[in-house]
Amino acid sequence: MAFENLYETDFYAWTMKQAEFLRHGRLTEVDLENVAEEIESMGKSQKREFLSRLSVLLMHLLKWQYQKGKRSNSWKSTIIGQRRELMFLLSDNPSLKSEVSSVIEKAYSRAVLDMTKETGISKKKLQHTCPYTFEQVMDDDFWPEFFQGLDQS
């Protein structure tokens, strides 16, 4: 199909042409393979956004918990903002809720790596699995406290 080359050379023009074909019922002219790939990619991008926002939220919850003396309005604002954005994302994509158990562990691993790089806190001082439930993470009233017996360095 002539528009397959357009897919490689001018993605925007290709998308406009595909939308036109679909709107006018010209299904035989649609670049089905690439349209299917792009639709699938859009779904994956929603999952990546879920993972990314959850990672940022978890990192700030960990910083809140382990660096009590450095708590700031900026951290609080980030936590509140990420919770709000995750709620919007989940309301627009409710099927992402079925991905919570797999995504939260990946997000926690990322959060731990980012936090240790940013703060210098040893990874050994953090729990190996996410210490919070997803319900806690999303709860506006949840602000984790420091675990007793752990060093705050």
> If we measure between CA atoms, which residue out of 96, 97, 126 comes closest to residue 110?
126
> If we measure between CA atoms, which residue out of 84, 51, 75, 87 comes closest to residue 143?
75
d(CA 153, CA 146): 12
Residue 150: pLDDT band by 50, 70, 90 thresholds?
very low
d(CA 112, CA 107): 9
> If we measure between CA atoms, which residue out of 112, 128, 135 comes closest to residue 66?
112
pLDDT tens-place string over residues 17-36:
999 999 999 999 999 999 99
Asked whether the beta carbons of 78 and 60 are under 8 A apart, the reply is yes
Residue 5: pLDDT band by 50, 70, 90 thresholds?
confident
Q: Check: pTM over 0.85? Answer yes or no.
A: no
